[in-house]
Amino acid sequence: MTKDRYKAICLDLDGTVYRGNEVIPETLDFIHDLQSRGIEPFYVTNNSSATPKQFQMKLLQLGIETGTDSIMTSAIAAAKYCKVHFDGASVMMIGEEGLQAALMAEGFKLTTESPDVVVVGIDRGITYEKLAEASLALRAGAEFIATNGDKAFPTEKGLVPGNGSFVKLLETTTDKVATYVGKPEPHLLHFIQQKGFRKEEIIMIGDNYGTDIQAGIRFGIDTAHVEGGVTSADVVKEQAQQPTYLFKNLSDWNRRYSL
């Protein structure tokens, strides 16, 4: 097997490409090797807060040059999902710049009153008023879309509430179940496939078995788990569904398979 077998190599970001503001050296070398072969990887993240341009600039600071069209966030996927299923709808949004930009790019009108759809992404400026307005809109019949179900995310101080925690609050309050778009659901990978790839040409690489690897398995593509992040190799080996490859880091790919 060689890297050239895959035309769409999808990399999780936090925990796979970088940890916080530090790039993972083996992944950096892996990406540079791909690019030297004319393969531009995709960067796939549940983080809905930032725009592709902002992710592009962060990657550039870490030594990775890429285009914004190679970045797929849960915000972009949620907006595309809404475009497919609720085109022309009015949308109430809980979220940050990344989600707002993605929804507006798909032509949605954002409103704070009587929306057709409520879309919930991470909002670090969340208030009781925002949650109350969303709750009332959902009870009035609005569709319920969540960018992702991550209950917590890591910071320098430790784990803090993620988007999934607020979505669960709204589900409890309204007795409505959200449609989740981010990993482990396969929607992000589906939208990448629509760029012109066959499933056998796509691989999902990540450190989180429950999101990254499960997204790939549910989508029916090859997967590679890398250690050093959310899920340990020992825990992965206990799972009923195994990734296609299990690597300590991405330098293993070069060592174990011919290039």
Q: Which residues sit in the known binding site for Mg(2+)?
A: 12, 14, 207
Binding residues for substrate, by number, are 183
Rounded Cα–Cα distance for residues 233 and 134 (Å) = 40
Q: How many helices (H) and strands (E) does the chain have?
A: 10, 15
Annotated binding site: 12, 14, 183, 207
CA neighbor of 167 nearest in space, from 94, 102, 116: 94
Choice among 14, 116, 212, 222 that is catalytic: 14
Integer Cα distance of 61 and 68 in angstroms: 15
CA distance 15 to 169: 27
175 included as an active-site residue: no
Strand residues in the chain grouped as ranges (E): 8-12, 18-19, 22-23, 42-45, 71-73, 90-94, 109-110, 117-120, 143-146, 152-155, 158-161, 179-180, 202-206, 222-226, 245-247
Q: Known catalytic residue: 212?
A: no
Q: Active site residue: 4, 12, 222, 252, which one?
A: 12
As annotated, the active-site residues are 12, 14
